[in-house]
Amino acid sequence: MTPFAEFRVQVGTPVSLGNDGFGEARIVPILGGTVVGDTLSGVILPGGADEQRVRADGLTRIHARYVIRTTEGDLVRVDSQGLRHALPPGDPSAPYFRTVIRFETAAPGLDTLNQSLFLSDGKRMADHVLLRLSAL
């Protein structure tokens, strides 16, 4: 896989919708952030959200949607779906956090984004989520 970009997604306080038997449903507001890469760089616009389902054992299904404004002024919609969970006790590795990302844009110069999938390796920080994307 080829490194593509690094996203720093600033997130707000999760809003819990409760547990309906399928796990706790919650929405995490996306407040902004930055994108740095050779092909795609810009800012993450506020107003997106990460809709999550959290099982009792901590497994979290992630579905985030937000918009990037590139340094050239183009808009790119991000649709990110994946999983996050802690590894078994005694495992010194970081928690498992992976998403598959699909982009949508009307910018002619970025049409290749519409035709590709990306894999992210994520890490939850104090005030943001760090995603390192690779092209598949």
Backbone angles phi, psi at 33, to 5 degrees: 145, -170
What tens digit of pLDDT does each residue of 93-132 get?
778 999 999 999 999 999 999 999 999 999 998 889 999 9
What tens digit of pLDDT does each residue of 31-74 get?
999 999 999 999 999 999 999 999 998 899 999 999 999 999 99
Query: Cα(87)–Cα(78) distance, rounded to whole angstroms?
Result: 27
Backbone angles phi, psi at 114, to 5 degrees: -65, -20
All domains in the chain, ordered by first residue: 2-135 (2.40.160.20)
